[in-house]
Amino acid sequence: MNRLKKLFTVRRVLMLLLIISVIFAAVSIKRKVEVWGFTFDPGSVTRVWTLEARIDFEADDDLVRASLAVPVSSPGFQIESVPAVSDGYSFALEKDTGTNGTGRAIWSSFTEREDDQRLFYRLLVYDAPGVALAEKADGAVLARVDLSESQRAAAESLLERVKNRGGDIPSGVLKELNSSTPGAEVELLLPGRKSAEALCRTAGQVLSLAGIPSRTSIGLQLEDQRNFLMPELRLEAVVDGEWHIYDPNSGENGLRRGFLLFRRGGESLLDLEGGHDGRVRFSASNSAVGSFALSPRRVLGERLDESLFHYSLYSLPLNEQAAFRWLSIIPLSILIVVVLRNMVGLQTMGTFAPILLALALVETGLLAGLILFAVIIALGLGLRNGLSRLNLLLVPRIAAVVIAVILIMEIVAVLSVRFGFGSGSASAAFPIIIMAWIIERAAIIVEEDGIRNALRQMFMTLAVTLAVYFIVSNVYVRHIMYVFNELNICIMILVMLIGTYSGYRLTELRRFRELVK
């Protein structure tokens, strides 16, 4: 029984809780970073692309049905489609038409249409576009080989060379076809201009000979300085049972950052019924949005069942979050004060005064704040000195000091604007009641223990305030303490643990030095 008791001392239990809370915080933070897209850097921004597809075509005086291949969702990046309203057309988005992550946007006209028609489709895209999930290539079929006898021989000898060289076959084939000093085989297989389309088609034939299924895909390379984007082709081939994507112009495997796949596999980009001469033009613009501000949209965009998010602080409207931003920095401030008081041994006037003062300093700026603080306290003490002769009772006396502090703040505000030192409302940032208490405490200490003791305590209070200020004023700390508020649980337990600390305070190492022989 006693041994059990020893095992479960308060300190040990708190230690255990601390470890648990740290683990919890780590897991929770990891999730917030990976799923919700929170960052440690308050300045981190995400580029949000607005992608616009403009479809122009000539209607055949008939009911029109236009269908555009569009990306719907893809792991690794976020896509939001903006409802596309076009006059005279109904709009629908069809997802999961068989190919991974792409769908079709479909417009149907209500009545017969003639002449030039124009339709728009808009998308918002953000978060590292260009990472495509490997897609299982079950049931992929070989393209029919459509080559002349001599071309076939050329293709086979080319394949032979690629296979002998080793490595990735599709990539090797594309590299051969793109060679800057093409041999006779390439000339035979690919006469004339090496367009991406031709490259894809020819490479597909060669790969079919090798028993490798292939297909073409279309996508857009998002780039900062380009407004109009040309759809680009990519060759996909089956390697180890999965579709791999290749740049036909280089043979490079994989997608470059910023490449957004529009459609994968055989479907066409645009299907038109009741119209002809269809053209699709893509344009893009981008803007930087704070990564953190984007998180609700990110979570929604992922269409995750993130009920956790909807019950988190971050689902609140931004202006309501502002108050909690301030609150969530207070636990860390308290930790600092507790450490400085109980482990270092500094005496402050009131436990929470340094915290509130530090928060005020953040609002006023350091130097202006310190000057204001000194002015208010000095004037207040002068006034309090007069009051002490009247022998007032405690509550009315403090009430009088509180009112005096308000008046002083107003006077200081007017004067600082008149004479051009900084903003007038700065003095209002100071917590009035706390200021009044500091004045009261200082006055009592002066009366009882002398000015030296009063100055010493005032100095220590300021030192603690500054320590809190330098931590609280750091934008990273503020951001992290708010965005990863599970850290506050760790701080709470840490503070409790310090409550069981019975070792010496730092200042005692000096105070009692003389007792050490």
Q: Is 505 in the site for other proteins (CB under 8 A)?
A: yes
Handedness of CA 206, 212, 217, 219 (dihedral sign): negative
The CA distances from residue 499 to 12, 289, 496, in Å, are: 13, 43, 5
What is the rounded (10 degree) CA torsion for 267, 272, 273, 275?
-160
d(CA 127, CA 294): 10
* Residue placing its CB nearer to other proteins in the complex, 50 or 507: 507
Give the binding range for other proteins (CB under 8 A) out of 174-182, 221-229, 379-387, 508-516: 508-516
User: Pairing state of beta strands 259-263 and 214-221?
Assistant: antiparallel
Q: Is 511 in the site for other proteins (CB under 8 A)?
A: yes
Give the binding range for other proteins (CB under 8 A) out of 144-152, 263-271, 305-313, 496-504: 496-504
Q: Is 240 in the site for other proteins (CB under 8 A)?
A: no
Any idea what DSSP says for residue 514? G
Give the number of other Cβ atoms within 10 Å of residue 303's Cβ: 8
Q: Is 514 in the site for other proteins (CB under 8 A)?
A: yes
Structure-token pair, residue 463 = 């030192």
CB of 512 to other proteins, least distance (A): 5
* Residue placing its CB nearer to other proteins in the complex, 413 or 498: 498
- β-bridge mates for residue 45, sequence order: 290
Q: Is 513 in the site for other proteins (CB under 8 A)?
A: yes
* Residue placing its CB nearer to other proteins in the complex, 305 or 514: 514
Residues with Cβ within 8 Å of 268's Cβ and at least 6 positions away in sequence, in order, are: 69
Contact 465, 352 (CB under 8 A): no
Q: Which of residues 180-209 bind other proteins (CB under 8 A)?
A: none
d(CA 326, CA 278): 56
CB of 7 to other proteins, least distance (A): 19
d(CA 90, CA 109): 6
Q: Which helix (H) or strand (E) holds 69?
A: strand 65-71
Q: Is 510 in the site for other proteins (CB under 8 A)?
A: yes
Q: Is 305 in the site for other proteins (CB under 8 A)?
A: no
String of contacts with other proteins for each residue 328-357, x by CB under 8 A: --------------x--x------------
* Site of tokens 């993130």: 306
Q: Which position among 230, 395, 418, 419 is part of the footprint of other proteins (CB under 8 A)?
A: 395
Residue 502 backbone dihedrals phi, psi, to 5 degrees? -120, 20
Give the binding range for other proteins (CB under 8 A) out of 24-32, 38-46, 76-84, 446-454: 446-454
The three-class DSSP label of residue 160 is helix
Give the binding range for other proteins (CB under 8 A) out of 199-207, 208-216, 447-455, 465-473: 447-455
d(CA 105, CA 83): 10
* Residue placing its CB nearer to other proteins in the complex, 273 or 508: 508
In the chain, the amino acid numbered 196 is: A
Q: Which position among 225, 393, 419, 420 is part of the footprint of other proteins (CB under 8 A)?
A: 393
Number of residues that bind other proteins (CB under 8 A): 26
Q: Is 2 in the site for other proteins (CB under 8 A)?
A: no
* Residue placing its CB nearer to other proteins in the complex, 141 or 516: 516
* Residue placing its CB nearer to other proteins in the complex, 283 or 453: 453
Q: Is 1 in the site for other proteins (CB under 8 A)?
A: no
Cα radius of gyration rounded to whole Å, the chain: 36
Residue 373 backbone dihedrals phi, psi, to 5 degrees? -55, -50
CB of 471 to other proteins, least distance (A): 23
Q: Write out the residues near other proteins by the rule CB under 8 A.
A: 342, 345, 391, 393-395, 448-450, 453, 500-505, 508-517
